[in-house]
Amino acid sequence: MRVKLALAPKMGREVVVEEVELDEPGEYDVRIKVMTCTICHSDIHANTGEHMEYEGPGAAGHEISGIVDAIGSKVTYVKPGDRVLCSEVRAGCGHCDQCLHDRPWFCTTIKPMSFRVASAFTRLNGERVTQTCSGAAGFATYCNAYENMLVKLDDDIPFEIGSALACGFMSGFGAVLNRSKPKPGESYAVVGCGGVGLSAIMGARLCGCVPIIAIDTQQIKLDAAIKFGATHTINPKEVDVVEAVKAITGGFGVDHSLVGVAGNGIKRTTFDLTAGYGQMVIVGHGHPRDEMMGDVNYMEFLSGKRVTGSVMGAVTLRRDIPKYMDMYRQGMIDIDALLTNWFPLDRIQEALDDSERGALKNVVVCDDEYYRERCGK
Ligand SMILES: [Zn+2]
Ligand SMILES: [Zn+2]
């Protein structure tokens, strides 16, 4: 089927929107008419190869929400016409060891998250497009996705909210609820206050954490952090972060920390600002070769300090997303405040550039009618 897709002709920042051929959905695949695909910073890193290099044209877009257009012969979860969001993480099989231990994202039965693989898109010059993120490439009018990545979207939840829930939000919010599990009154520090970090702050606030310390080098993000519930902000360009956190926490460091960004030394700093009895959760990552914490001395763990990681908020997809939709409905989480600027698919380059300049979460609207409906033009 002929569709429109935003692709990077070669690994890098430049993206073009062009007509391509989309394969028919495989037996377990669903073809989605994409309504919105919000931008996650991973989309930019994936296209530029910062997470891992790839050959040929690439396409990203993994916060997808839309309407089921067609299904493969073995799909049972959805039918054409259903509203869905599509996540990178899988719902899992529900009966393997990983699924039984609440780790469906590592399910051993359902095919794994795969990055830098051939997508279902072919350029009209015959080149097969590489999927730079996992699962699907959603900056397109239509895309195929594995049914195990889908969650039904309730009728009253707008598509853009479904998109925002599909990765960035759950990665931060879920990491707090499913990994940190803080108790009311415990302190929390969030390092890196983009979409993931701000969602973590929402989670920490919902759990009753105090103080909630937001750490970022961009003032615009620190201002946003206050709106989402941070009680203190620290700009590492201005002060020594570890000293500043200790000054706020009676000299101990925080009970919980979450690092939502990549960068040299940032994980070490996060470790240092975490109390000896505290726990640090690693969410943000860069290229595998840059993500070492080799200077940690084993003695530093004798106090019981813990370091753990979280992928996609450690969510159980079809258990947690419906909860998040309910929290949104009840006004407990403010996803709308995360959404920054809206762009039609044809202007995706502007949307990506704007995200790189610091927009929290830009909405790419892939359906022209929906764009007119929401943006009035
Ligand atoms: Zn499983
Ligand atoms: Zn993402």
Percent of the chain with pLDDT over 70: 99
Here the CATH number for the domain that contains residue 103 is: 3.90.180.10
Tell which residue, 349, 350, 343, has the closest CA to residue 368.
343
Same domain, 98 and 180: no
What is the Å distance from ligand 1's center to 101 Cα? 9
CA of 78 to the centre of ligand 1 (A): 19
Q: Could you tell me the distance, in angstroms and rounded to a whole number, from the CA of residue 377 to the centre of ligand 1?
A: 45
Ligand nearest to the CA of 93: 1
Interval between CA 28 and ligand 1 midpoint (Å): 16
- The reported pLDDT for the residue numbered 41 is 83
How many angstroms does the Cα of residue 316 sit away from the middle of ligand 1? 11
Classify residue 160: in a domain, yes or no.
no
First to last CA, the chain: 28
Same domain, 146 and 286: no
Q: How far is the CA of 227 from the centre of ligand 2 (A)?
A: 22
Full-model pTM: 0.91
Please tell me the least confidently modeled range out of 129-133, 141-145, 209-213, 224-228: 129-133
Ligand number with the minimum distance to the CA of 39: 2
Same domain, 192 and 306: yes
**Ligand 1: centre distance to CA 113 (Å):** 13
Let me know if residue 167 belongs to a domain: no
Ligand 1 centre and the CA of 220: distance in Å?
Answer: 41
CB 196 within 8 A of CB 360: no
Q: Are residues 237 and 112 in the same domain?
A: no
Number of the ligand closest to the Cα of 104 = 1
**For residues 310 and 282, is the Cβ–Cβ distance under 8 A?**
yes
Q: For residues 85 and 164, give the distance between their C-alpha atoms in angstroms, rounded to a whole number.
A: 9
* Residues 123 and 218 reside in one and the same domain: no
Give the ligand with the smallest distance to the CA of 90: 1
Q: What is the distance in A from the centroid of ligand 1 to the CA of 257?
A: 29
Q: Which of 169, 174, 111 minimizes the C-alpha distance to 145?
A: 111
Say yes or no: 95 and 180 in one domain: no
Which bound ligand lies closest to the C-alpha atom of 108? 1
* Cα of 238 from ligand 2 centre, angstroms: 29
Residue 260 lies in a domain: yes
Ligand nearest to the CA of 98: 1
Centroid of ligand 1 to alpha carbon of 102 (angstroms)? 9
Rounded Cα distance, 331 and 361, in Å? 19
Calculate how far, in angstroms, residue 131's C-alpha sits from the geometric centre of ligand 2. 14
User: Is the confidence at residue 115, as pLDDT, over 80?
Assistant: no
pLDDT at 295: 83
On whether both 144 and 9 belong to a single domain, the answer is yes
- Residue 42 CA, chain-centre distance (Å), reads 7
CA–centroid distance, 156 to ligand 2, in Å, is: 24
Same-domain check for residues 105 and 248: no
Q: Quote the number of domains for the chain.
A: 2
Which ligand is in closest contact with the Cα of 97?
1
CA of 167 to the centre of ligand 2 (A): 5
Q: Is the peptide bond before 104 cis (omega within 30 degrees of 0)?
A: no
Helix axes of 41-48 and 348-356: crossing angle, nearest 10 degrees: 100
Measured in degrees and rounded to the nearest 5, phi and psi for residue 246 equal -65, -35
Q: Read off the pLDDT of residues 312-330 as tens digits, 9 standing for 90 and up.
A: 999 999 999 999 999 999 9
For β-strands 188-191 and 117-123, DSSP reports them as: unpaired
pLDDT tens digits along 275-313:
999 999 999 877 777 777 778 888 999 999 999 999 999
Token pair of 29 as six digits: 């695949």
Please indicate, yes or no, whether residues 140 and 245 belong to a single structural domain of this protein.
Answer: no
Cβ atoms within 10 Å of 118's Cβ, excluding its own: 13
Alpha carbon of 103 to ligand 1 centroid (Å): 8
Average pLDDT, the chain: 93
Kindly provide the residue ranges of all beta strands, DSSP E only, lying in the chain, ordered along the sequence: 2-7, 16-22, 29-38, 58-59, 64-71, 83-86, 117-123, 128-131, 142-146, 150-152, 188-191, 212-215, 232-234, 254-259, 274-282, 306-309, 339-344, 361-365
Where is the domain boundary, 296, 311, 326?
A: 311
- State which residues form the domain around 228: 172-311
210 C-alpha to ligand 1 centroid (Å): 37
Q: Which residues neighbour 364 within 8 Å (Cβ) at sequence distance 6 or greater? A: 6, 36, 37, 38, 39, 61, 139, 343, 344, 345, 348, 351
**pLDDT (tens digit, 9 = 90+) per residue, 25-70?**
999 999 999 999 999 988 888 888 877 788 889 999 999 999 999 9
Task: Give the integer Cα–Cα distance in Å for 225 and 334.
Answer: 12
Q: Ligand 1 centre and the CA of 29: distance in Å? A: 18
**C-alpha of residue 300 to centroid of ligand 2, in Å:** 32
Which tokens go with 188? 């929390």
* Coil, strand or helix at 216: coil
Which of 80-102 are b and which e, b meaning 16 or more Cβ less than 10 Å from the residue's Cβ? Answer: eebbbbbbbbbbbeeebebbeee
